[in-house]
């Protein structure tokens, strides 16, 4: 389908002239309808995702009376005050900071673990490689261990501490070590030996070679785990009873449980939570797709 | 104390006798100590409740007033959504970082199998709550209410108020426009429903998406057919002893009544949330809704005086006398945690809460019916006094579910299976409940 | 074990050991403990004696009173997993192929598709509850064009389908990103060669794209299977904890262990919840391992 591009790529210049002309002619015929269909499809996809979100924005700007009178109607007199009220009542500022802390620390630690374990196992530098590979697979689908994790933290004196919560979330590495191990296979092994001959130690090699080279895979692993941490509700409920330590997911959930009657306010609260995320995402997204490239090449 | 308990648990099987001994020990520790003679009220006081807009606001008012009176106390108040409350409470009780929370221990009838004990009762049994027997502040409350709350003859809980929920909010204007008066028997109620339908008005509004609001119709149906506390207790006992059949007789009648209520409810009510009911009622989408008095303040602010509304017991029985009382329960009951860090402040808080002036404000904010005598009730509650002169416990406060029985027999009237919530007729749903119930006996 | 070129082994042991300790202490030990407590009658409260009950909890899962309910939950779980895994991967691949072309606004479109992943379950639940509000949501308006109406999440025949729909909507973002990454790693020359050989669009997809995407497919299928078998939050926020039409095994664990008296009138039974966890673990691991082995074999063959 990439054939629909009309500018010839460098590789094509060396193609036999006859073949190229034929190819170009065929393309020119295909370009128009294909492009239109493609754009139509993109519009449909974007619509499926944007419409529900715009509907939420529309709701956020309604007073409760307006909403119940006509939930689908376009907003006529925007209630910007909903946002201020939701912000004050929801205490979202503090929650967002908590969430950022948990997400960066837990996903960061989890990703580090995935690298520190995935690399040597993939290279076969350790005894019992089968055992470690099996461990990586098992990490994918461990049973829900909420009750016992609570008991564990309680006994370790880490209950109701941010550190305890971060450690539990970091240990939920999921697919991470497996992905890193897979990616490392695509890195030339000779590099390890060459670096070692040059006198590089193991740690220095990890930092100066493995991490930069495995960046795409590391980015993927980090993002996948960060999503899980950011969205967690139930572990935070149990492990962090102190409301001052609540992450934003829990704050919003509690807000929703308390203000069930007020859809405009709820929608506004939701938008408040979503806005910084969307902004952060728009800023980071080119790193994201770019970062993921190749992480599954291996 | 807490250490002694966990030691007991480590030894393994302690059983009821051990727990009772621990309980006796506990009451020895605490009885007779009032906040005034245990020293200064200082430090952090941790309070955990399940969240609702009105009660959160009321608790926060109490907390502010409390901290004004005891400036050395810092109240840390958590209001957790209902769904998360049991999990939060049990973990915080385990960790010992809650001082005041909510619980409703109930004495186990002898016919109930041991495994069916609920968490609140198990916790009281294990000595997790401070024995409040003999505390002066309990004297502020209506004695008959306090008697209702006793567990094995001891006081553990402080009531916050009463709610009734086997009645119907009705739109007086729609009733007047159609020449209807408050029905007192099932046949009169059927006439009301058919008249309304004939006039193109949807008779009933139900928020079926959240499931439990549709269960209020079931609880109301049981109330009319088993009006007194004794009737309900006997039904529960007969069911546990296998003498009563859920798919037969009056029990089947309950299901049929529920089904006919669902038949006249608004279209697609199974997908409507409970939160949409007050506004639907206010805009005249339906003439009536079965709801609890706890929701009256919300309904009132939705209606905004556009029309008059009233509340009457759902007349499920054919005998008017059976329909004259509302079933109710004691709302949020506060307990002091035995292993909390600040028992002194916890008791001071309960005592402060019970003071008639503080309590009056709490009642006004929450809209609960007062559990203390001589407290001015709202106009609305005065209007339904004739239905509440004799307290009749609602079915769900009498019933003890059996964890060994199937899911269809939890309530045990299987309303979630009735069409359109489920896909079954009243008789089929009842039969399913009966076989699920029998399997657990 | 291959030769370790870096001399001293202690740095390797220290860092590997550190990771291992964190995983074992905070993930493996609690998971193993779940197996142990599935043989007890433990409750979520302190001071209550805990007894070994042997296989009682397992017997209860398969007891006459529960088996119907559990089979229903199992059936729903499998439908949920299979439909959402297949749809997420098929649609995810299609959208990735679409957005991998030189189109204006493709960056924007990629961002939009990924948005639900960031917004989280609570927000997604709120959006779709509003959307499928039977009295006056946009979906009800669309239905009314055809003279139809529905209770949507309240309709026992429709509820599971709608929850799966929302799961697909929400889960596509991650799949698209991973497929896009895989697509961009495919060398252009291969497509050109296919063009010169006169391959049709379908043949290009079948002969070039899919085989070279094999690792991405493996990752995506696994993520979707594990995610859909273990996640209960969507069903929970959209249809509540006790709706038989959307009862999933993972949701049953949650309401057994934590729903407690507020939802069912029953006490919390963490021993029984652990039992369901173990049974679910067995199902998830068997399903994932079978799929993993199958996909790895395919990869190897290609």
| SS3 of chain A | CHHHCCCCCHHHHCCCHHHHHHHHHHHHHHHHHHHHHHHHHHHHHHHHHHHHHHHHHHHHCCCHHHHHHCCCCCCCCCCCHHHHHHHHHHCHHHHHHHHHHHHHHHHHHHHHHHHHHHHHHHHCCCCCHHHHHHHHHHHHCCCCCHHHHHHHHHHHCCCCCHHHHHHHHHHCCCCHHHHHHHHHCCCCCHHHHHHHHCCCCHHHHHHHHHHHHCHHHHHHHHHHHHHHHHHCCHHHHHHCCCHHHCCHHHHHHHHHHHCCCCHHHHHHHHHHHHHHHHHHHHHHHHHHHHHHCCCCCC
Count of beta carbons in the 10 Å neighbourhood of residue C245: 24
Output C25 or A1, whichever has higher pLDDT.
C25
- Return the ∠ at Cα A188 (arms to A182 and A191), rounded to 5°: 125
Domains and CATH numbers, chain C: 66-301 (1.10.3720.10)
Omega before B245 cis (within 30°)?
A: no
pLDDT at B312 over 90: yes
Pair (A284, A150) in one structural domain: yes
Check whether residue A49 and residue A141 sit in a common domain: no
Q: Nearest CB to C274: which of A9, A23, A147? A: A147
Query: Cis omega (within 30 of 0) on the bond before B420?
Result: yes
Same domain, residue pair A48 and A123? no
Rounded-to-integer distance, Cα B120 and Cα B330, Å? 15
- The whole-angstrom separation of Cα C260 and Cα C8 is 55
- pLDDT band, very low/low/confident/very high, at A291 (cuts 50, 70, 90): low
Q: Which pLDDT score, from 0 to 100, does residue B17 have? A: 34
> Is there a shared CATH topology between the B2-161+332-385 domain and the B166-325+401-439 domain?
yes
Q: Which of B419, A260, B204, B396 has its CA nearest to residue C245?
A: B419
Residues from chain C contacting residue B115 (CB–CB below 8 Å): 41
- Is A264 touching C (CB cutoff 8 A)? no
* Cross-chain CB nearest to C222 (options A71, A175, A197): A175
Q: Looking at residue B418, what DSSP letter applies? A: B
Q: Do A154 and B80 touch (CB under 8 A)?
A: no
Q: Where are the alpha helices (DSSP H) in C44-158?
A: 56-61, 64-99, 106-131, 138-145
> With contacts defined as CB-CB under 8 Å, which chain C residues touch A295?
181
B contact test, residue of A153, A159, A258 with most B CBs within 10 A: A258
**A243 to chain B: which residues are within 8 Å by CB?**
76, 78
Identify the top-confidence range among A15-24, B102-111, B187-196. B187-196
Report the CATH architecture of B166-325+401-439: 3-Layer(aba) Sandwich (3.40)
| Sign, CA torsion A206/A209/A212/A214 | negative
Buried b (16+ CB within 10 A) or exposed e, B29-46: ebeeeebeeeeebeeebb
| Whether residue A135 is found in the same domain as residue A56 | no
CB atoms within 10 A of CB C55: 12
Q: Which residue has the higher pLDDT, A227 or C257?
A: A227
Residue B266: band (very low, low, confident or very high) from pLDDT cuts 50, 70, 90? very high
Q: Residue C146 — φ and ψ, nearest 5°?
A: -100, 15
In contact, A35 and C99? CB cutoff 8 Å: no
What average pLDDT does chain B have?
87
> B267 and C149 in contact by Cβ < 8 A?
yes
- How does DSSP classify residue C59? H
Counting one residue from chain A and one from chain C, the pairs whose CB atoms sit within 8 A come to 294
Is the predicted pLDDT of residue B189 greater than 70, yes or no? Answer: yes
Asked whether residue A50 is assigned to any structural domain, the reply reads yes
Look at A258-267, B281-290, B348-357, C260-269 and tell me which has the smallest mean pLDDT: C260-269
Residue A273 within a domain: yes
Q: With contact defined as beta carbons under 8 Å apart, do B212 and B221 qualify?
A: no
Whether the Cβ atoms of residue A235 and residue A162 lie closer than 8 Å to each other: no
What confidence score (pLDDT) does residue B18 get?
35
Residue A136 lies in a domain: yes
Chain B CB contacts of C239 under 8 Å are 209
| Chain B neighbours, 3+ Cβ pairs < 8 A | A, C
Please indicate whether, in this complex, the C-beta atoms of C44 and B86 are within 8 angstroms of each other: yes
Predicted confidence at residue C23, as pLDDT, reads: 96
Q: How confident is the model at residue B440 (pLDDT cuts 50, 70, 90)?
A: confident
- Best of C65, C141, C248, C266 to substitute, by most chain B Cβ atoms within 10 angstroms, is C65
Nearest residue, CB atoms, A160 vs list B97, B275, B279: B97
A129 and A27 share a domain? no
Q: In this model, does residue B344 exceed pLDDT 60?
A: yes
**Highest mean pLDDT out of A130-134, A239-243, C16-20, C198-202:** C16-20
**Is A281 at the interface with chain C, CB within 8 A?**
yes
- pLDDT value at residue B423: 86
Between CA B340 and CA B347 the distance in angstroms is 11
Cα torsion angle, B130, B136, B139, B143, sign: positive
Examine the pLDDT at B169 and tell me if it is beyond 90.
yes
DSSP B49-74: EE--HHHHHHHHHHHHHHHHHSTTEE
**What pLDDT, on the 0 to 100 scale, is given for residue A11?**
42
Longest dimension (CA), chain B: 71
Mutation site, C43, C46, C259, interface B, largest B CB count within 10 A? C46
Provide the CATH number for the domain around residue A173: 1.10.3720.10
Tokens of B298: 């919300």
Q: What does the pLDDT average to over B111-125?
A: 80
Alpha-carbon Rg for chain C in angstroms: 24
Packing angle between helix A263-292 and helix A17-60, nearest 10 degrees? 160
Same domain for A98 and A54: no
Provide the pLDDT for residue A287.
62
Q: Is C128 on the interface with A (CB under 8 A)?
A: yes
Shared-domain flag, residues A92 and A56: no
Q: Are A140 and A253 within one domain?
A: yes
Contact B406, B417 (CB under 8 A): no
Residue B372 has what DSSP assignment?
S
Pair (A42, A99) in one structural domain: no
Q: What is the pLDDT of residue B115?
A: 64
Which chain A positions have a beta carbon within 8 Å of B284's beta carbon?
none
Pick among C111, C188, C220, C221 to test the A interface (most A CBs inside 10 A)? C111
* Mean pLDDT of all residues in B178-185: 95
Confidence at residue A286, expressed as pLDDT on a 0 to 100 scale:
62
Residue whose C-alpha is closest to residue B138's, from B407, B327, B343, B373:
B373
Q: Do B81 and A256 touch (CB under 8 A)?
A: yes
**Parent domain of A250:** 88-292
Contacting residues of B for A160, CB less than 8 Å apart: 95, 97
Q: What are the residue ranges in chain C where pLDDT is below 70? A: 1, 258-268, 301-302
Q: Where are the domains of chain B?
A: 2-161+332-385, 166-325+401-439
pLDDT of residue B101 exceeding 60:
yes
Instruction: Give yes or no for residue A34 having a pLDDT over 90.
Output: no
Q: Are residues A125 and A166 in the same domain?
A: yes
* Nearest one of C292, C186, C211 to A293, comparing CA atoms: C186
Strand order across the B162-164 sheet: B162-164, B327-330, B392-393
Q: Quick one: average pLDDT of B66-95?
A: 88
User: Per the structure, how many domains does chain A have?
Assistant: 2
So what's the pLDDT on residue A255?
82
Interchain proximity B94–A160, CB inside 8 Å: no
Inform me whether the pLDDT recorded for B21 exceeds 80. Answer: no
CATH code for the part of the protein at B2-161+332-385:
3.40.190.10
What are the distances in angstroms from CA B5 to CA B94, B116, B129, B190, B269?
Answer: 11, 22, 13, 57, 49
Gap between the Cα atoms of B49 and A79, Å rounded: 32
A55 touches chain C (CB under 8 A): yes
Give all chains having 3 or more CB-to-CB distances under 8 Å with chain C: A, B
Of B5, B208, B409, the CB nearest to C47: B5
The residue-averaged pLDDT of A206-224 equals 85
**Which of B3-17, B329-343, C58-72 holds the top average pLDDT?**
B329-343
In this structure, are A206 and A249 located in the same domain? yes
Query: Which is nearest to A110 in space by CA: C120, C27, C118?
Result: C27
> What is the token pair recorded at B22?
């621990």
Amino acid B37: pLDDT: 42
d(CA C193, CA C204): 10
Per-residue pLDDT at B180? 95
């Amino acid at each position: 389908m990439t054939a629909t591009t009309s500018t010839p790529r460098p590789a094509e210049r060396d193609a036999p002239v006859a073949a190229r002309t034929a190819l170009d002619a065929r393309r020119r015929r295909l370009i128009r309808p294909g492009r239109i269909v493609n754009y139509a499809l993109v519009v449909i996809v974007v619509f499926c995702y944007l419409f529900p979100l715009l509907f939420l924005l529309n709701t956020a700007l309604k007073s409760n009376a307006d909403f119940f009178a006509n939930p689908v109607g376009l907003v006529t007199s925007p209630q910007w005050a909903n946002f201020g009220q939701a912000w004050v009542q929801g205490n979202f500022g503090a929650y967002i900071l908590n969430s950022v802390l948990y997400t960066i620390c837990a996903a960061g630690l989890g990703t580090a673990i995935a690298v520190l374990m995935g690399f040597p196992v993939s290279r076969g530098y350790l005894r019992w490689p089968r055992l470690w590979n099996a461990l990586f697979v098992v990490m994918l689908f461990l049973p829900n261990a909420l009750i016992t994790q609570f008991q564990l933290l309680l006994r370790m004196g880490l209950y109701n501490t941010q550190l305890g919560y971060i450690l539990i979330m970091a240990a939920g590495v999921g697919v991470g070590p497996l992905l890193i191990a897979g990616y490392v296979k695509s890195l030339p092994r000779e590099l390890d030996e060459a670096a070692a001959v040059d006198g590089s130690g193991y740690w220095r090699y990890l930092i100066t070679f493995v991490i930069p080279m495995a960046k795409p895979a590391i980015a993927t692993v980090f993002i996948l785990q960060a999503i899980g941490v950011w969205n967690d509700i139930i572990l935070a409920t149990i492990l962090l009873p102190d409301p001052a330590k609540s992450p934003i997911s829990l704050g919003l959930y509690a807000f929703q449980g308390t203000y069930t009657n007020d859809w405009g306010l709820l929608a506004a609260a939701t938008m408040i939570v979503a806005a910084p995320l969307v902004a952060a995402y728009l800023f980071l997204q080119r790193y994201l797709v770019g970062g993921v490239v190749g992480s599954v090449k291996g | 104390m807490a250490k002694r308990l966990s030691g007991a648990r480590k030894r393994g099987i302690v059983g009821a006798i051990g727990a009772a001994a621990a309980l006796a020990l506990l009451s020895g520790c605490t009885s007779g100590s009032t906040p005034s003679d245990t020293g200064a009220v200082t430090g952090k006081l941790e309070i955990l409740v399940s969240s609702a807009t009105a009660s959160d606001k009321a608790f926060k008012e109490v907390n502010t007033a409390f901290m004004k009176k005891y400036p050395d106390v810092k109240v840390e108040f958590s209001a957790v959504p209902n769904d998360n409350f049991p999990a939060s409470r049990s973990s915080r009780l385990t960790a010992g970082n809650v001082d005041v929370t909510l619980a409703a221990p109930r004495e186990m009838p002898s016919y109930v199998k041991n495994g069916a004990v609920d968490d609140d009762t198990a916790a009281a049994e294990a000595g997790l709550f401070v024995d409040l027997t003999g505390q002066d502040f309990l004297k502020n409350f209506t004695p008959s209410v306090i008697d209702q709350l006793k567990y094995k003859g001891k006081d553990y809980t402080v009531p916050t108020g009463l709610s009734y929920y086997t009645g119907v909010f009705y739109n007086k204007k729609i009733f007047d426009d159609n020449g209807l008066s408050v029905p007192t028997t099932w046949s009169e109620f059927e006439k009301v429903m058919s008249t309304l339908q004939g006039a193109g008005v949807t008779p009933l509004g139900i928020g079926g998406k959240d499931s439990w609001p549709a269960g209020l119709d079931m609880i109301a149906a049981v109330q009319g057919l088993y009006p007194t506390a004794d009737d309900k207790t006997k039904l529960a006992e007969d069911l546990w002893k296998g003498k009563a059949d859920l798919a037969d007789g009056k029990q089947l009648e309950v299901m049929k009544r529920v089904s006919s209520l669902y038949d006249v409810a608004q279209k697609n009510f199974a997908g409507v949330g409970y939160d949409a009911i007050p506004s639907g009622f206010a805009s005249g989408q339906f003439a009536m809704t079965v709801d609890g008095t706890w929701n009256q303040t919300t309904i009132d602010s939705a209606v905004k005086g556009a029309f008059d509304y009233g509340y009457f017991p759902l007349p499920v029985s054919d005998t008017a006398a059976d329909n004259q009382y509302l079933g109710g329960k004691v709302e949020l009951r506060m307990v002091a945690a035995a292993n909390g860090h600040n028992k002194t402040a916890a008791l001071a808080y309960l005592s402060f809460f019970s003071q008639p002036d503080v309590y009056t404000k709490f009642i006004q904010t929450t809209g609960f019916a007062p559990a203390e005598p001589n407290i001015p009730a709202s106009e609305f509650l005065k209007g339904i006094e004739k239905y509440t002169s004799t307290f009749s416990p609602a079915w769900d406060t009498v019933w003890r579910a059996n964890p060994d029985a199937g899911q269809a027999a939890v309530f045990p009237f299987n309303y979630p299976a009735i069409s359109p919530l489920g896909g079954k007729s009243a008789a089929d749903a009842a039969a399913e409940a009966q076989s699920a119930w029998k399997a657990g006996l | 074990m291959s030769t370790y070129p870096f001399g001293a082994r202690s740095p390797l042991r220290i860092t590997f050991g550190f990771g291992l300790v964190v995983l074992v202490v905070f993930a493996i030990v609690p998971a193993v403990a779940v197996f142990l407590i599935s043989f007890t009658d433990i409750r979520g409260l302190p001071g209550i004696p805990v007894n070994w009950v042997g296989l009682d909890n397992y017997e209860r899962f398969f007891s006459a009173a529960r088996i119907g309910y559990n089979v229903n939950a199992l059936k729903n779980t499998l439908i949920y997993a299979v439909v959402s895994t297949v749809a997420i991967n098929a649609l995810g691949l299609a959208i990735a192929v679409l957005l991998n072309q030189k189109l204006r606004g493709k960056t924007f479109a990629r961002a939009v598709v990924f948005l639900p992943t960031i917004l989280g379950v609570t927000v997604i639940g709120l959006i779709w509850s509003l959307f499928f509000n039977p009295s006056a949501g946009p979906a009800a308006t669309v239905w009314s064009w055809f003279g139809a109406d529905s209770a949507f999440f309240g309709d026992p025949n429709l509820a599971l389908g709608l929850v799966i729909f929302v799961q697909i909507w929400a889960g596509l973002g991650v799949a698209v990103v991973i497929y896009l990454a895989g697509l961009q790693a495919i060398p252009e020359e291969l497509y050109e060669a296919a063009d010169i050989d006169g391959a049709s669009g379908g043949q290009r997809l079948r002969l070039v794209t899919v085989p070279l995407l094999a690792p991405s497919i493996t990752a995506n299928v696994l993520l979707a299977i594990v995610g859909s078998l273990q996640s209960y939050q969507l069903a929970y926020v959209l249809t509540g904890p006790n709706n038989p039409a959307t009862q999933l095994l993972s949701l049953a664990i949650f309401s057994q262990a934590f729903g407690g008296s507020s939802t069912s009138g029953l006490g919390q039974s963490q021993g029984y919840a652990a039992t369901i966890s173990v049974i679910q673990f067995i199902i998830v691991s068997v399903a994932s391992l079978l799929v993993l082995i199958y996909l790895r074999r395919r990869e190897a063959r290609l």
